Structure 1
Amino acid sequence: MKINHLTSAEENLMRLLWKLGSFYLKDIMEQHPEPKPHQNTVSTYLKILTEKGYLSTEKEGRIFRYQTIVPVEDYKKFLLAQLSDNFFNGSGKEILSFMIHEQLILTEDLKDFNIEADPVQKKEPEFEYVNEILNPKKTKRKTRRKKRRKGKKRNNLSTYIKGCLA
């Protein structure tokens, strides 16, 4: 299912619609916080959201019953992927680093994920970026050393093989 971008007004209305799940226009008007928009405005937004694929409609007599199609979790994933691609080069590590730097996440909060910085313990690949952020100097140094060692071994091995073949 392809998810389309929403304007801020459409997104605000969708927050209410996700809470309601299945609803009529009158339900929206009752639940909408003050200042309430005009009924025609809401009706226009419902039509747009239906065209964008966020809502489905079912005609019941003279009125329509609407239902959300795109779950809020899918929209969150879509937004996070867009944010990651547009501002963080598709890197979750960069997002996490930025959030820690801006104090949106505290390093103490990361400990709630039961991530150990113990090198003996087997690390799960999806959590390696957290250890690198918690211990940036150590991890970067180790990575550089490993790359240097691997490079030297390859150079020595290739030199050895070339020498044998010559």
Structure 2
Amino acid sequence: MQKLTNKEEEIMHIIWQLEKAFVKEIMAEITTKKPHYNTLSTIVRNLEEKGYVSHNAYGNTHQYYPVVTKEAYREKFMASAIQNYFNDSYKNVVSFFAKEEKISVDDLKEIINLIEKEK
């Protein structure tokens, strides 16, 4: 699974949300600066070449749909980020968020409870 650019990832989130979409429908969902229609069409075709989406053809138009699930992408992306930025340590990930005050003590207690229930 190839890494996506930021713009490709943004477009994939829209496609995951819509489940099936024509380029004009994807364009309507973009909340940041909208690219030119042809640029967006190229991005979607790149996603298809990378194996993230496929399409159904209706004459000259294509309706795109995801081939890779959001969950599969998240799993791959998170595993890569944890390996590359946290020395493959989930403890380092949690420690990072605790130091940045992005996770509360209550959240940590809830995580501990979830872990203990799994055992």
Category of TM-score, reference length = shorter chain: 0.7 to 0.9
User: 2:81 is matched with which residue?
Assistant: 83
Residue among 53, 56, 60 paired with 2:54: 56
Q: SS where residue 56 of structure 1 aligns?
A: strand
CA distance in 1, matches of 2:72, 2:112: 26
Rounded Cα–Cα distance in structure 2 between residues aligned with 1:54 and 1:43? 14
Aligned residues: 118
Structure 2 matches for 1:67-146, cutoff 5 A? Answer: 67-113=65-111, 115=113, 124=116
Deviation of 1:114 after TM superposition, in Å, equals 5.7
- Within 1, Cα distance between the matches of 2:32 and 2:47? 21
- 1:51 alignment partner AA: E
> Per-residue deviation at 1:111?
1.8
Structure 1 counterpart SS, 2:113: coil
User: What TM-score, normalized by structure 2, do the two folds share?
Assistant: 0.87
| Higher RCO, 1 vs 2 (CA within 8 Å, ≥6 residues apart) | 2
Q: Aligned residue for 2:14?
A: 16
Per the alignment, residue 45 of structure 2 pairs with 47
| Unpaired stretches in structure 2, ≥5 consecutive residues | none
Say if 1:22 and 1:92 are closer, same or farther in 2 by CA, change over 3 A: same
Distance in 1 separating the partners of 2:75 and 2:104: 22
TM-score, normalised via structure 1 length: 0.64
* CA deviation vs aligned residue, 1:89-132 (integer Å, no higher than 9, x gap): 2111111111111111112212224639xxxxxx85x78xxxxx
- In structure 2, what is the Cα distance between the partners aligned to 1:34 and 1:81? 28
CA RMSD of aligned residues (A): 2.1
Letter in 2 for 1:82: S
Q: Distance in 1 between matches of 2:21 and 2:107?
A: 38
Please point out which of 42, 62, 65 is paired with 2:63.
Answer: 65
* Cα distance between partner residues in 2 of 1:45 and 1:99: 33
How much does 1:13 deviate? 1.5
Give the number of the structure whose alpha-carbon radius of gyration is greater.
Answer: 1
Residue segments in structure 1 that go unaligned for 5+ positions in a row? 117-122, 128-166
